[in-house]
């Protein structure tokens, strides 16, 4: 399902430059090639997983890790799943860092603080606490992801953006009237 704010932005855009919200053609090209590269990599990795694992793919939690662990080229290239584990850990670190940064910036904006760094420790401690109590095991996480998340995310991905959009439209019309 396409998030509502992206659908609205696509509807209003005249060109890709308008849709991406960039100022110059060079910036639009960087975004476009980045999206093209990422999409190509995802397709290639998915095809690799499908060809190596076959029907086993749907039953695994980390199919890329399992697919790479099955790769063996003579005695030269074996046991390269360590490299995948390092990439996973690096990606998780980057993702958590970005989420922490954005959450800290958001909390500082909500409470009108001058600097986001004053709430970073508290936000990090709350994140660790919630991560610790959220799921007891990976089966509980998988159940939540496939059965509960769609209902949980609907208000945040549809209802809240529509309410914010309506409020902004009302504020803009009030400014035009004045």
Q: Does an H or E element contain 172, and which?
A: helix 160-177
Q: Please, which residues bridge with residue 162 across strands? A: none
In this structure, what DSSP letter does residue 54 have? Answer: G
DSSP 62-103: -HHHHHHHT--BTTTB--THHHHHHHHHHHHHHHHHHHHHHH
pLDDT tens by residue, 10-59: 555 555 555 556 667 777 788 888 899 999 999 998 898 888 888 888 88
Q: Place 172 in a pLDDT band, splitting at 50, 70 and 90.
A: confident
pLDDT tens by residue, 56-76: 888 887 888 888 888 777 777
Distance, CA of 161 to chain centre = 17
């Amino acid at each position: 399902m396409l998030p509502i704010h992206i659908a609205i932005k696509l509807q209003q855009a005249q060109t890709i430059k308008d849709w991406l919200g960039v100022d110059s053609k060079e910036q639009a090209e960087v975004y476009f090639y980045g999206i093209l590269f990422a999409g190509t990599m995802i397709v290639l990795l998915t095809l690799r997983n499908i060809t190596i694992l076959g029907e086993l793919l749907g039953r695994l939690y980390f199919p890329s890790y399992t697919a790479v662990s099955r790769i063996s080229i003579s005695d030269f290239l074996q046991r390269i799943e360590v490299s995948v584990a390092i990439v996973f850990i690096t990606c998780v670190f980057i993702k958590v860092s970005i989420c922490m940064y954005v959450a800290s910036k958001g909390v500082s904006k909500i409470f009108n603080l001058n600097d986001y760094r004053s709430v970073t420790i508290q936000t990090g401690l709350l994140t660790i606490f919630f991560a610790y109590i959220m799921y007891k095991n990976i089966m509980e996480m998988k159940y939540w992801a496939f059965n509960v998340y769609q209902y949980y995310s609907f208000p945040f991905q549809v209802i809240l953006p529509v309410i914010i959009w309506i409020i902004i439209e009302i504020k803009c019309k009030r400014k035009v009237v004045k």
